[in-house]
Each structure stands twice: as C-alpha cells, then as structure tokens.
Structure 1
Amino acid sequence: MNSFFQHHPRRLWAWKSPGGQVKNQIDYIKINKRFRNAVTQCRTYPGEDCGHIGDHVPLVAELRVRLKEVKKKQQPRRDWSVLQGEEIKAAFEVEVRNRYEMLEDDIEGGEEVERVWNNIQTVLLGTVEKVVPEHRRRAKQKWMTEESLTLMEKGRCCKWNRRKYEELDREVKRKCRERKEEWWNQQCQEMEQLDRMHLQRRIYGKLKEITGKRNSTRSSTIRDKQGNVLMEVSEVLEGWAEYVKELYDDGRGERPEIVGDLEGPSILQEEIKEAIKCMRQGKSVGEDQVSVEMVKAGGDYIKKKITIWPTASMIRVTFQK
C-alpha cells in the first residue's frame, strides 16, 4: 500500500545502505483488495527511533474499517390464530401423526432419546411450514392500503433489479401520498360534521384518536413502609435496596447435606398433559424454534411421544455439599 500513495521521496524509502548513499523502497504492506479503500494513509518515518531495526525505517499504515453487523436469519412469523379452528387443528394433528410415523423412530429401553426429540422438532417445524400460514404484514399507518403493502412486498423481492425497484418505490410513495391526503380529508370532514352537530366531546375524542395522545395513568413514585412518598434520589435507591433485600431474603438456614442417588417415579402422561395445558401461549421460541402452540396443536399423539422422551431417560441426581 505504500506505493499506492503519492508522497515526497523521503516518505517512501524504507531502507538505506550502510553508507547512506543508496535508499530504496523495499518494504511493503500488502492488503486484500476487498479492504484496499479502508487504508487512509501509508508512509515511512525516517526520523523515528524504533530501536534495533537495522537499516530499515518504520513503515506505518492507517486504516479505517467499518464492519457490518451480521444479522441472523429470522424465522417467519406465523399466524397461530388459525389453529383455534377445529378443521385446521385436526389437519395439523393428522399431518404430525403421518410425518412421525414415516420416521419409524420408536425406541426401546431408553436408547437414542436425543433422536426422539430431534424427530419431534423436525415433525413440528415441517408441519407448521405446510399448515400454518405466515403472519401477514399489517399497515403501520392508517392510510396505507393492501395495494400499497403488496407493492412494498414486490419491491423487497426484486431489490436485485435496481430499475424495477426504483419504479415500484416511486409508485408506492405516490399511492401513499394520495391515500394519506384522502384519509386526512376524510377525518376533517368527520370533525366538521361533528362540529355542526355540536358534539364537542366526540370532537376531542377524535383529536386524541388522530394524534395518538392518551392520558397516562402510570406513576413513577414509590413509598416507604409508612406510606410516605420518596422524592430524593438517595431515598429512592435506599427504598429499592430494602425492597429487594426483603424480597430475596432466605431464612431457611444452611442447606442440609444429602449424599446418595435419588431416583424418582416415572413421569405420567397425565402430568405431561396438565403441564402443556398450563403453558401460556404467545411466548418467544428458543433455539429449537418449537413454540407452545405447536405442541398443543400436536394433540394426544405428540403428547404421548413427549411422555416417552423423559421417562426413557430417567436421570440420577446426586446432591453433595
């Protein structure tokens, strides 16, 4: 890179002969072509004292690298509300049963338990892709129409074609401006109609609806045990510290010493069903991408497989001090 910039000769040579009569540019800094534009400066410093480096002078390059964040591929959002219907739910359960029976992974003696869960995960995710539709994008603004959302989706799918993408972008912006103007005219006409009818309360309600302003009922004040409001920052911090200390106070004493192998009874299918029934829906999924809605929609067949899974892999736990 030191041959890429134009400098005075004294900023280019990197070696001089013992007598100082000959000076050559024999030291170079190489960089990948991908990051060539990141180098902002490269030159030598003949007057710097860098220790015992012989007849060479230090060669320094300055780089400015902007690293992009690697975004993880997100799973598409699903419309789980369709599983509330009996027809879709029955189709989901039948598809799960058919897919699982094709794997033929019935285990005996508690072997290959990990493979059972992998098969459950594969079956549920494959069934969701086939039966449950993706969640449709909703308009963030009230004046946006389905036509505009469709054009936006087309634009996202053809970003590689710059000309077509720019045409769709202009069309989307034009339609959004037109629809926004129509929406505001409609809101103004409604408010004028309410004003002619002398419905002032509904006018103010319409204004709040348009502007999005709502009365806040949230309070950020805290009180001590006597009910006094704490205003000072130090008092608020002391109040929170006291609250957390009492919340996590453990007065059970020292943990008893228990040494030995403890093996509990087998897990019943009724316990698994009750646990799945009590699980709350709408929660984010983990690394396996399996949600509560998938397990519940799988029916008794998938619940039976989940019952076999932990029962076949009873774990011995040893408690030691």
Structure 2
Amino acid sequence: MPGDITRYEIHHILVRRRYKNQVKQCKSYFGSDINSDHNLVIMESQLRYKKFKRTLQELRWGSKLLVEKDNIERFVTDIEGNLGDEGERSTEERWGELKRAIAKVAEEQLVGKGDDPKKPWITTVIRDKRTNSRKKKIPEHQ
C-alpha cells in the first residue's frame, strides 16, 4: 500500500515442533541490501546430536569344524542328547526346543574355535602375537 506506514512481517522460518527447543533467537532485518521486497530472517539454533548405543558383538561359530565327519557325528549326537522325548507338543514348541539345543551345543563346541579371519592371510601365529600384544597393553591393576 503506497504511503502506508504499517509493516507486515510475513517472512518466517518453519521449525518442527520436535526441534522448537533448539531455537535460541530469531531476527528479521528490514534494511538489508538484497534488492527485493522480502526481508532477511536469521535464526540461531543449538544442535544436539543423537547418541548411538553400541550393540553387543554376536558370537561367531567356527562352522569350518563341521567339515570333518567325526565332528559332525559328535555335533549331531550332542543335539539329540539335549532334545527331550517327543511327547504331545505342538510344532512350535518342538521347533523352539530344537533351536535351543542347536545353540547350546554350538556354544560348547564351535564358539571361538576355528574362527575364519576376514583376511585369509592372517595365520594363527599372527593372531597369537596380536592377542599377546593386546594383553601387554592392558594395565595389570584393571
């Protein structure tokens, strides 16, 4: 409106409701030299980054040990020993019992044994040297 002395502030910064606490200050500058009828709007905010939780490393089973026939037979007999009698149970119950039996026997026989390194050139000698050097770095009082 020509000759009007009122000003309409129609320039905004949109912030999601979740982040509204991060906005510290907001200003609009009317006399900026930007050659436009829009006003410059500046916002100060404080960013907070999300902290990630570390997940536990899964146990790796040395499945290469199951290549030998003796190990396979021992593994199967131990699983059969951990299974109960068949009786009158649902399929889901029997499947859960089978999974628990396999996991228990695998933890006893396969965890940490025959680990396949991610790089095949790492031999057991190199792995032993690495574990010894790690043990030396750890202080004894811990």
Aligned partner of 1:123 in structure 2 is 101
Of residues 134, 140, 145, the one that matches 2:126 is 145
Q: TM-score, normalised by structure 1?
A: 0.25
Higher relative contact order (CA 8 A, sep 6+): 2
Q: TM-score, normalised by structure 2?
A: 0.51
Aligned partner of 2:14 in structure 1 is none
Task: Measure, in 2, the Cα distance between the counterparts of 1:80 and 1:63.
Answer: 50
Aligned partner of 2:70 in structure 1 is 87
- Secondary structure of the residue aligned to 2:103 is helix
Task: Measure, in 2, the Cα distance between the counterparts of 1:91 and 1:137.
Answer: 25
- Call closer, same or farther: CA 1:117–1:147 in 2, change over 3 Å: closer
Whether 1:77 aligns to 2:56 is no
Aligned partner of 1:96 in structure 2 is 79
Task: Measure, in 2, the Cα distance between the counterparts of 1:79 and 1:41.
Answer: 53
Q: What are the ranges of 5 or more consecutive residues in structure 2 without an aligned counterpart?
A: 1-20, 28-42
- Secondary structure of the residue aligned to 2:59 is coil
Aligned partner of 1:196 in structure 2 is none
Task: Measure, in 2, the Cα distance between the counterparts of 1:155 and 1:75.
Answer: 26
- Secondary structure of the residue aligned to 2:45 is strand
Q: Note the C-alpha offset of 1:137.
A: 4.1
- What aligned pairs does 1:86-235 form with structure 2 within 5 A after superposition? 86-101=69-84, 104=85, 106-108=86-88, 111-134=89-112, 135=115, 137=117, 145-151=126-132, 154=135, 164=139
Task: Measure, in 1, the Cα distance between the counterparts of 2:134 and 2:120.
Answer: 14
Aligned partner of 1:21 in structure 2 is none
**Cα RMSD after superposing both structures:** 3.9
Task: Measure, in 2, the Cα distance between the counterparts of 1:137 and 1:42.
Answer: 51
Deviations 1:77-136 (A, max 9, x none): 2221211223222221121111112xx4x243xx52211111111000111000114215
- Call closer, same or farther: CA 1:86–1:69 in 2, change over 3 Å: same
- Secondary structure of the residue aligned to 1:145 is helix
* Alpha-carbon contact 2:65-2:110 (below 8 Å) kept: yes
Deviations 1:273-312 (A, max 9, x none): xxxxxxxxxxxxxxxxxxxxxxxxxxxxxxxxxxxxxxxx
Task: Measure, in 1, the Cα distance between the counterparts of 2:104 and 2:97.
Answer: 10
- Call closer, same or farther: CA 1:128–1:150 in 2, change over 3 Å: same
* Alpha-carbon contact 1:92-1:127 (below 8 Å) kept: yes
Report which of the two structures shows the higher radius of gyration computed on alpha carbons.
1
Name the aligned partner's letter for residue 123 of structure 1: A
* Alpha-carbon contact 1:100-1:119 (below 8 Å) kept: yes
- Secondary structure of the residue aligned to 1:93 is helix
* Alpha-carbon contact 2:25-2:45 (below 8 Å) kept: no
Name the aligned partner's letter for residue 100 of structure 2: T
